[in-house]
Amino acid sequence: MTVTVAVLGSTGSIGTQTLDVVRSAPGRYRVESLAAARSVDLIAAQAEEFRPRWVALVDGSRARELAGRLPEGTELVVGSEALADLARRADVTVNAVVGFAGLGVTLAALAAGKRLALANKESLIAAGPVVQPLRDTPGAELIPVDSEHCAIHQCLRAARRGPDGRTMQVSRLVVTASGGPFRGRSAAELGHVTLEEALNHPTWSMGPKITVDSSTLMNKGLEVIEAHELFGVDYDDIDVVVHPQSIVHSMVEYTDGSTIAQISRPDMRLPIGYALAYPDRLDTAFGAMDWTGTTRLDFEPPDRKAFRCLDLAYRAGRTGGGAPAFLSAANEVAVEAFLAGRIGWSAIAEIVEDSLDRYEAVEAVTVEEVLLADAAGRREARASLAAR
């Protein structure tokens, strides 16, 4: 039977690669809906090719421009609530919406008992306590579309499960990090790095915000929080190891000392295809290894003094409640300031730390509370920025 798919955030990097995966498996998936924030040209071309029932545009002011360009049989819907509606209908929703707007999609798909292929990090990092209870909805499934979490998900298939379905005998998760463009540099050397250098990621091609987050290791810290939320493993049992080749995407260590790793060339179509096909697998190999030449796999501990954002994320994760939302928001403000040339690279961690020092504990079990924690993080980071 053909599986219907909602590709929400279809014009971004994950969205376009999702459509690539769909193309690679003719007859297996039908794109039921596409959604973008405002990229009219690209989404019109995608609609022409995939003939979805619905196309959603978040930015209503551009709707008229798109309406005349959609193929017959495709209906245009507008606004972020429309995206949540589409997530309730499809068998699988790929949530590749950028930022907070993606939370509504996550909540809608899970509450409707559908499969959610989650690429929107904010959903779990900022709003983990809001999302968690909905995972118990009958039929609801959350499969991560992040290379590290996809790897852990695969490695955990080797685990024994208790009667409640929880994995047993897992001693720790090992999340790998490429180390970003500044791996090996001392804290002193990092005082002089430029924006251009920060945007030059060695293995993955991504947007500017996440590329900067990779250079500070904040992205890895946020992924540790994501792993904690997804797999229910204590922070003390989640380690980060730097692995510059980005071939081992993460590992799970079991109580008998065995470590199971997932290995492939960096290609996001693999985790996307995994999330679509699970528990089955796609017939198209994305990122398959070539062992005919010499392959080196290096591992080293992260330099936590030079890359302070990593421990700041652990600190916020352990604090729990609204702290991860607060941290993520403060980091966004700091990264924006860095991208605008207002502060140096080292100031990102300083501003986040300074903000976190002023965090006042709040719950984050409702969307409103998460938004308050987010607003507080932004406010404190701006205050910290202004005081410099």
Q: Using CB under 5 A, list all residues that contact Mg ion.
A: 146-148
Instruction: State in angstroms the smallest separation of the CB of 324 from Mg ion.
Output: 16
Cα separation, 126 vs 111, in Å, equals: 18
What does the DSSP 8-state code read for residue 97? Answer: -
R_g (Cα) of the chain, nearest Å? 21
Cα separation, 296 vs 119, in Å, equals: 29
| Residue of closest CB approach to Mg ion | 146
* Beta carbon nearer to Mg ion, 43 or 173: 173
Instruction: State in angstroms the smallest separation of the CB of 210 from Mg ion.
Output: 8
Return the amino acid letter for 56: A
* Beta carbon nearer to Mg ion, 52 or 128: 128
Instruction: State in angstroms the smallest separation of the CB of 170 from Mg ion.
Output: 20
Cα separation, 19 vs 220, in Å, equals: 27
Tell me whether the omega of the peptide bond preceding residue 202 falls within 30 degrees of 0, making it cis. no
Tokens representing 183 are 């791996």
* Beta carbon nearer to Mg ion, 37 or 145: 145
Cα separation, 8 vs 15, in Å, equals: 7
Q: What are phi and psi of 5, to 5 degrees?
A: -125, 135
* Beta carbon nearer to Mg ion, 107 or 218: 218
Instruction: State in angstroms the smallest separation of the CB of 214 from Mg ion.
Output: 8
Would you report the helix, strand and coil content of the chain in percent, each value rounded to 5?
Answer: 45, 15, 35
Instruction: State in angstroms the smallest separation of the CB of 95 from Mg ion.
Output: 15
Instruction: State in angstroms the smallest separation of the CB of 150 from Mg ion.
Output: 9
Beta bridge partner(s), residue 77: 56
Cα separation, 75 vs 33, in Å, equals: 9
* Beta carbon nearer to Mg ion, 54 or 182: 182
- In order of 218, 250, 263, 291, 348, the CA distances from 223 in angstroms are 8, 11, 18, 29, 18
Instruction: State in angstroms the smallest separation of the CB of 232 from Mg ion.
Output: 19
In terms of Cα–Cα distance, which of 152, 147, 99, 97 is closest to 122? 99
Contacts of 385 (CB under 8 A, 6+ apart): 333, 334, 337, 342, 343, 351
* Beta carbon nearer to Mg ion, 148 or 303: 148
Instruction: State in angstroms the smallest separation of the CB of 219 from Mg ion.
Output: 7
Instruction: State in angstroms the smallest separation of the CB of 230 from Mg ion.
Output: 12
Contacts of 272 (CB under 8 A, 6+ apart): 14, 17, 18, 21, 94, 117, 119, 145
* Beta carbon nearer to Mg ion, 204 or 235: 204
* Beta carbon nearer to Mg ion, 4 or 147: 147
Contacts of 25 (CB under 8 A, 6+ apart): 273, 282, 283, 284
* Beta carbon nearer to Mg ion, 148 or 332: 148
Beta bridge partner(s), residue 117: 94, 143
Instruction: State in angstroms the smallest separation of the CB of 226 from Mg ion.
Output: 9
* Beta carbon nearer to Mg ion, 148 or 353: 148
